[in-house]
Amino acid sequence: MDQSAMLQKVKKRLPEKRFNHVVGVVDTATELAQRFDVPEPKAQVAAILHDVAKFSDRDWMKSIIIEQNMDPLLLDYHAELWHAPVGAYIAEKEFGVEDEDILNAIRYHTTGRAEMSDLEKVIYIADLVEPGRKFSGVEELRQLKEQGLDVMMEASIKHTIDFLTSKNQPVYPDSLKCYEHFVQQKGNVKE
């Protein structure tokens, strides 16, 4: 399926505001892919499909998580996280995406994880900093592209964790492992 057809199919599943977000993520992911030498077509497909399950029925998503033997821990966390792994399932089953890197970029775009591929980082960041996002600190995150993809990703996951903890929300273990991965890479772990 070509990207234009994919985008039109996704548009039918989303409210206009969310679809505009998807377009912003596609544009941002394309820019980041160019900058950081990530294949643009892969970034564009992952960006188009990253929120394909965002407005799916929660009971249906729960059933997919169970039936597909996804991490059962997901069910112990806010349902907001479910659309990412279920989105990867939809990308594969309905859109014919077979590329595991694209599927993982969709699967982990809300939580991150340790050992992310560059494509996964691009989609996580693009989702957070696309032009429609207006939260405090977003401009600082956008400016970090001058310092590199890993710097941007570390700051992005830290922002997400800080936001969740400020709201007394639990942090999914993959997000903590993602943050720890970057801290350990820099050798900031105290013995």
pLDDT tens for each residue of 92-132: 999 999 999 999 999 999 999 999 999 999 999 999 999 99
pLDDT exceeds 70 at position 188: no
pLDDT exceeds 80 at position 189: no
3-state class (DSSP) for residue 156? helix
Q: Domain 3-185: give its CATH code.
A: 1.10.3210.10
Per-residue pLDDT at 186: 75
Per-residue pLDDT at 1: 80
pLDDT tens-digit series, residues 38-96: 999 999 999 999 999 999 999 999 999 999 999 999 999 999 999 999 999 999 999 99
pLDDT tens-digit series, residues 133-157: 999 999 999 999 999 999 999 999 9
For tokens 């821990």, the residue is 73
Kindly state the DSSP code that residue 130 receives in the 8-state scheme. Answer: S
Kindly state the DSSP code that residue 132 receives in the 8-state scheme. Answer: T
Alpha carbon distance 139, 63 (integer Å): 38
Domain extents in the chain: 3-185
In percent, the amount of the chain with pLDDT more than 90 equals: 93
pLDDT exceeds 90 at position 34: yes
Task: Provide the mean pLDDT of the chain.
Answer: 95
Q: Where are the alpha helices (DSSP H) in the chain?
A: 3-11, 16-35, 40-49, 58-67, 83-93, 100-107, 118-129, 138-143, 149-166, 173-185
Contacts by 55-58 with C-beta closer than 8 Å and gap 24+? 55/13, 55/14, 55/15, 55/18, 56/83, 56/86, 56/90, 58/82
* Token reading at 31: 């820019």
Could you give the dihedral angle defined by the CA atoms of residues 88, 90, 92 and 95, in that order, rounded to the nearest 10 degrees?
-130
pTM for this prediction: 0.94
